[in-house]
Amino acid sequence: MRQHYRRISRLFIFPAVIIITLLSQTQPVHAQTFESVGPWGGFTYGLVKDNAGNIYTGCTNFSGFFKSTDAGLSWKEINTGIGRNSSFAMAAIGDTIYGASTTRGVLRTVDGGNSWTVVSSGITPQSSGSIFVYDLYADAGGNLYAGTSGKGIFYLPSGASEWQDIGDSMLAAKTIYSVTKDSSGRLYAGANNDGIYVSTDNGAIWTRRITGITAVSTNPSPRDLVSRGDTVWTGLAPNGVWKTIDGGANWTADTLNTLGRRTVNGLYIDDAGTLFACVGTSTTYPEGGVFYKISGDSVWTPLNLGLEKKTTYSALNIAPSTYLISGNTFGLARTTDLASLTVSNTGLGGLKVNSVHLAPDSSLLAGLDAGLGIYRSTDAAANWTLDTAGVGLRTVYGFANTSGATGSTVYAAMGSVGVYRSTDNGALWTAANTGISARTVYAVLASADIVIIGCASSSTLPTLYRSTDGGTSWTAAILNDGFTPGSVWSLAKDTSGAIYAGMTSSSSIARGLLKSTDGGLSWTSSNDAMAVLDNAIYALAHNPVGNKFYCAPNVSSMYTSTNGGATFLPDSSGLNGYTVNAMLVPVNADAAAQGTVLAGTLGYGGLFKQSLSDSVWQPAGLQGYSIAISAEKGADLFVSTTSNGIYKVSAQFLSAPVITGAAGKVPAAFSLAQNYPNPFNPSTTIRYELALASDVKLKVFDILGREVATLVNAKQAAGNYAAQFNASRLSSGVYFYQLKAGGLIAIRKMMLVK
């Protein structure tokens, strides 16, 4: 199909010499696709829809924003150019979508999430410089209101670009969870632990109005506010729903029947007047789910079948008789009959996965954070099931397999409950924690029938244990240096059989590196071998090709040893200051990539790789994500992230040039996003989208129009792409990057600050 337009969006004035410069040819590159494969779910809050019926939601846990074009049946991440954000609220004004962020304030998209703009000018930041917005409310006139954390309430008039502080002295230092306006124009603000404030002059003067509510609390915490006409409802924590019909002068309880005094996190009222209350769970009220009541009725009806014991946050009518519910862990659910709910989160990658692991039968195990348990897939991540048999919902930090005389067993390192084991590849778990049942285990390493575990630090208990009977009993390790070690976060073994333990950093306990040459029975400090003696060790790995041992401290660096840890040398070139959190040496890489090492970083640095022939680490994909750990299954690699689930990629990407593509639906249009971070030093990510297969050129120019880098020069399929630009050899200043594809051109400006 031929393109009949030439689109240059949000361009900056660009030196004319660039347009007539002949673009140099470079070696073609081939993008490798990272495919989001679940487990699906997340902590979702706000829900809005645009004029076309597309639905948008925001997640916490720095998972960002997602969009559905099929009435909530499936979801796609839409975080191009903005990195990872946590969001508690969203608002829609026609086809303009606003998302609240806990760090950058308010974000706006006018093209369905293909690109975002920060619109926070005028909002007072926190002392950290972050702008934390809890709530967004759009009135019928297109005006926008923002409730913030500790900074009161702000107002963005329709068509304006600068926010106005309308909190006056009464609200200026308060946290505002919710905002609404009634049909008479009265503005309501719900202040955390301070009740409800009302203004009749758009925020010039505020009056505290909690008469009636004082019967249950003198410092109520309104979690949400909604209005219909001049009737306004508020959801309290933990005192149910209240309403006013006189501008807040008097409030009456609206909690008849089963709603009681539950914590109400969110309220929603549809066009027919049906009111929904999204509730939390507690010991007194464990049911969770949603309650609703039809207009004119006084009875609340529970709706939690399918979401038993789940906390919910918001509701949205997306089609006749169809509603979408957001909430904790499950992410999103749908109901078409107001009788039952069905989880509807395909594509919603919003969970923190601490570890992804290959069980003895090659099924995949995903260990989740925040007490969300273990997920299992027997079909290469096409489908996942939550396997809680024998173990329940726990925080899982890692896995290891044994295949010795006691058979094939997989072990799971758990938070606060020690170690669990499974002899059927994760279907059923049993405790293997005699003597360590109350310990948090961060790391587990198995070798034949020997299992080594590393625990959280304790002033009275060891942190390294060894089992030779399949976890039936554990023996505390002998420390030859006589000190009490810190928390053990990482374990690794080299080809000689030596085992290494990386410890946390503290001023009062030992840290750094330990080594054992007798199967984990006794350990000796290896701190003398490294210059980073007083830092936590986050990740360890051994590369059998070249006998190279990797040690990653929490000081944004890497050290390697080729003599069994006797000496370590710095090996951080190219990591760009990111802290390495996990490492993998793939064994099924093609011949060209044998010995390549993968490093997953924190701080949203993504994956890096180092080949045998290159001492410099190269970005290898998923830049903008923080990586937890990786696993290998046949010709595929599975990479877990700290906010967006697991990604799958062919191991062939190890030998491919560094240009990454993200799977998903074909973009609707050609677009070039603002680089992130910006300003940057020395590396940044440039993301773009192609609606059609095209010959693509992505180049960087200095302020005088001189070409300084060619990032892409290849034919690429329609899809989403990200290219890395490392400016370590360039001086500070303004640079331009230009994308040419299919006859279209887009140019953006970026700033390098050293």
**Cα–Cα distance measured from residue 211 to residue 379, given in angstroms and rounded to the nearest whole number:** 58
604 occurs within a structural domain? no
E strand or H helix at 728, and its extent?
Answer: none
E strand or H helix at 427, and its extent?
Answer: none
User: Domain count of the chain?
Assistant: 3
Q: Are 426 and 387 in contact (CB under 8 A)?
A: yes
Q: Are residues 178 and 205 both part of a single domain? A: yes
Sequence-ordered list of residues with C-beta below 8 angstroms from that of 648, at least 6 positions apart, any chain: 34, 35, 37, 380, 381, 636, 637, 638, 639
4 occurs within a structural domain? no
Has residue 529 got a pLDDT over 80? Answer: no
Question: Stretch 594-602: mean pLDDT, rounded?
Answer: 90
CATH number at residue 24: 2.60.40.3080
Higher pLDDT pick, 119 / 595: 119
Q: Are residues 385 and 309 both part of a single domain? A: no
Q: Are 48 and 92 in contact (CB under 8 A)?
A: yes
Q: What percent of the chain has pLDDT over 70?
A: 90
| pLDDT of the residue at 354 | 95
461 occurs within a structural domain? yes
Has residue 23 got a pLDDT over 70? Answer: no
Q: Are residues 211 and 279 both part of a single domain? A: yes
| pLDDT of the residue at 330 | 92
The model's confidence at residue 750, banded by pLDDT at 50, 70 and 90, is very high
The strands making up 240-244's β-sheet, listed across from edge to edge, are 222-228, 231-236, 240-244, 252-253
**Cα–Cα distance measured from residue 1 to residue 608, given in angstroms and rounded to the nearest whole number:** 37
**Cα–Cα distance measured from residue 492 to residue 580, given in angstroms and rounded to the nearest whole number:** 15
Q: Are residues 380 and 323 both part of a single domain? A: no
Q: Are residues 102 and 158 both part of a single domain? A: yes
| pLDDT of the residue at 743 | 82
**Cα–Cα distance measured from residue 653 to residue 722, given in angstroms and rounded to the nearest whole number:** 14
Q: How many residues appear in the chain?
A: 754
Sequence-ordered list of residues with C-beta below 8 angstroms from that of 270, at least 6 positions apart, any chain: 276, 317, 323
The model's confidence at residue 566, banded by pLDDT at 50, 70 and 90, is confident
Has residue 47 got a pLDDT over 70? Answer: yes
Q: Are residues 26 and 60 both part of a single domain? A: no
| pLDDT of the residue at 666 | 58
Has residue 15 got a pLDDT over 50? Answer: no
pLDDT tens digits for range 171-182: 999 999 999 999
| pLDDT of the residue at 30 | 34
Q: Are residues 113 and 181 both part of a single domain? A: yes
**Cα–Cα distance measured from residue 518 to residue 376, given in angstroms and rounded to the nearest whole number:** 34
Q: Where are the alpha helices (DSSP H) in 165-219?
A: 168-171
| Nearest CA among 438, 433, 397 for reference residue 414 | 397
CATH number at residue 84: 2.130.10.10
Question: Residue 421's Cα: distance from chain center in Å?
Answer: 28
Q: Are residues 332 and 453 both part of a single domain? A: no
The strands making up 55-59's β-sheet, listed across from edge to edge, are 44-49, 55-59, 64-68, 76-77
Sequence-ordered list of residues with C-beta below 8 angstroms from that of 289, at least 6 positions apart, any chain: 279, 302, 303, 304, 305, 307, 308, 310, 312, 341
**Cα–Cα distance measured from residue 637 to residue 352, given in angstroms and rounded to the nearest whole number:** 18
CA distances from 536 to 386, 457, 557, 558 (A): 33, 12, 11, 12
User: Which residue bears the tokens 């009725």?
Assistant: 297
Q: Are 230 and 183 in contact (CB under 8 A)?
A: yes
**Cα–Cα distance measured from residue 668 to residue 64, given in angstroms and rounded to the nearest whole number:** 20
Could you please report the per-residue DSSP string of 234-282? EEETTTEEEEESSTTS--EE--TBTTTT--EEEEEE-TT--EEEEE---
| pLDDT of the residue at 25 | 27
What the block records as the tokens of 570 is: 């710095």
Of 609, 624, 652, the domain-final residue: 652
743 occurs within a structural domain? yes
| pLDDT of the residue at 601 | 92
**Cα–Cα distance measured from residue 429 to residue 411, given in angstroms and rounded to the nearest whole number:** 9
Q: Are residues 160 and 185 both part of a single domain? A: yes
**Cα–Cα distance measured from residue 104 to residue 115, given in angstroms and rounded to the nearest whole number:** 15
| pLDDT of the residue at 462 | 87
User: Which residue bears the tokens 């970005």?
Assistant: 619
CA distances from 86 to 63, 104, 115 (A): 6, 10, 17
Q: Where are the alpha helices (DSSP H) in 95-200?
A: 168-171
Could you please report the per-residue DSSP string of 611-638? -TT-SS-EEEE-TTS-EEEEEEETTEEE
711 occurs within a structural domain? yes
What value, to the nearest 5°, has the Cα angle with vertex 427 and ends 307 and 309? 15
Q: Are 221 and 264 in contact (CB under 8 A)?
A: no
The model's confidence at residue 509, banded by pLDDT at 50, 70 and 90, is low
Of 295, 314, 343, the domain-final residue: 343
| Nearest CA among 278, 239, 291 for reference residue 261 | 239
**Cα–Cα distance measured from residue 395 to residue 412, given in angstroms and rounded to the nearest whole number:** 10
pLDDT tens digits for range 685-700: 898 988 887 888 999 9
| Nearest CA among 230, 213, 202 for reference residue 137 | 202
Domain that holds residue 543: 353-593+646-652
**Cα–Cα distance measured from residue 4 to residue 697, given in angstroms and rounded to the nearest whole number:** 20
Question: Residue 711's Cα: distance from chain center in Å?
Answer: 27
150 occurs within a structural domain? yes
**Cα–Cα distance measured from residue 543 to residue 55, given in angstroms and rounded to the nearest whole number:** 46
Lowest-confidence segment of 102-116, 397-411, 594-608 by average pLDDT: 397-411
639 occurs within a structural domain? no
Number of separate helices (H) and strands (E) present in the chain: 2, 65
Has residue 166 got a pLDDT over 90? Answer: yes
pLDDT tens digits for range 247-302: 999 999 997 556 778 899 999 999 999 999 999 988 888 888 899 999 988 889 99
What's the mean per-residue pLDDT of the chain? 87
| pLDDT of the residue at 404 | 61
**Cα–Cα distance measured from residue 527 to residue 516, given in angstroms and rounded to the nearest whole number:** 13
| pLDDT of the residue at 656 | 57
Of 628, 652, 676, the domain-final residue: 652
Could you please report the per-residue DSSP string of 70-88? STTSB-EE--TTT-----S
164 occurs within a structural domain? yes
Question: Stretch 327-349: mean pLDDT, rounded?
Answer: 94
| pLDDT of the residue at 604 | 84
Q: Which residues of 311-333 are buried (b: 16+ CB within 10 A; e: fewer)?
A: bbbbbbbbeeeebbbbbbbbbbb
Has residue 315 got a pLDDT over 50? Answer: yes
Q: Are residues 27 and 103 both part of a single domain? A: no
pLDDT tens digits for range 431-441: 999 888 789 99
Q: What percent of the chain has pLDDT over 90?
A: 58
Q: Are 737 and 686 in contact (CB under 8 A)?
A: yes
Q: Are residues 25 and 64 both part of a single domain? A: no
Alpha-carbon Rg for the chain, nearest whole angstrom, is: 27
| pLDDT of the residue at 215 | 92
Q: Are 697 and 685 in contact (CB under 8 A)?
A: no
pLDDT tens digits for range 360-383: 999 999 999 989 999 999 999 999
| Nearest CA among 300, 220, 320, 231 for reference residue 259 | 300
Q: Are residues 319 and 421 both part of a single domain? A: no
| pLDDT of the residue at 285 | 87
| pLDDT of the residue at 534 | 55
What phi and psi, each to the nearest 5 degrees, are found at residue 657? -60, 165
**Cα–Cα distance measured from residue 659 to residue 661, given in angstroms and rounded to the nearest whole number:** 7
**Cα–Cα distance measured from residue 55 to residue 133, given in angstroms and rounded to the nearest whole number:** 21
Adjacent-strand bridge partners of 688: 672, 721
Higher pLDDT pick, 735 / 590: 735
